[in-house]
């Protein structure tokens, strides 16, 4: 199995920045992709960004393009989400995920991001 530990959430003013980190351990070799979903109160969980195991394929939701950057440090088995120019609508719980082939995703514990106006 894979365990995911998230960090980096917090409270920030509009226009500020945060960097989320997701450290993976366990059967990491089986993971095809990792990334981040977010869920705001009363809304469905939505995909924010993803990165393939080799780092060659990266996808972003349209609403974060140009503001967020996903990256990975394979030596540390960690995926990062650098979030710049944050907006109040970015307020949500952010969940790291790891996607193994043909099975359900693994999930981190979630970290709260709150952007005040």
Q: Please, what is the average pLDDT of the chain? A: 94
54-107: pLDDT as tens digits: 888 999 999 999 999 999 998 888 999 999 999 999 999 999 999 988 889 999
Residue 49 has pLDDT above 90, yes or no: yes
Q: Is 113 exposed, middle or buried (0-12, 13-18, 19+ CB in 10 A)?
A: buried
Integer Cα distance of 78 and 101 in angstroms:
19
> Which of 108 and 103 is assigned the larger pLDDT?
108
Task: Give the rounded distance of the alpha carbon of 8 from its chain centre.
Answer: 10
Q: How far is CA 66 from CA 5, 51, 59, 69, 116, in A?
A: 26, 16, 12, 8, 20
Q: In the prediction, which pLDDT does 27 show?
A: 85
Residue 28 has pLDDT above 90, yes or no: no
Q: Are 66 and 78 in contact (CB under 8 A)?
A: no
Q: How sure is the predictor about 38, in pLDDT bands with cuts at 50, 70 and 90?
A: very high
Write out the two tokens for 100.
């193994």
Beta partners for residue 97, in sequence order: 35, 107
> Which of 50 and 53 is assigned the larger pLDDT?
50
Q: How sure is the predictor about 30, in pLDDT bands with cuts at 50, 70 and 90?
A: confident
């Amino acid at each position: 199995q894979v365990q995911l530990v998230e960090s980096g959430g917090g409270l920030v003013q509009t226009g500020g920045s945060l960097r989320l980190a997701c450290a993976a351990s366990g059967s990491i070799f089986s993971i095809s992709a990792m990334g981040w979903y977010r869920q705001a109160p009363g809304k469905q969980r939505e995909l924010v960004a993803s990165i393939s195991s080799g780092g060659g394929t990266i996808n972003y939701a349209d609403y974060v393009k140009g503001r967020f950057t996903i990256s990975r440090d394979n030596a540390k088995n960690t995926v990062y989400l650098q979030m710049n120019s944050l907006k109040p609508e970015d307020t949500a719980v952010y969940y790291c995920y790891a996607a193994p082939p043909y099975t359900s995703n693994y999930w981190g514990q979630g970290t709260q991001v709150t952007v005040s106006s």
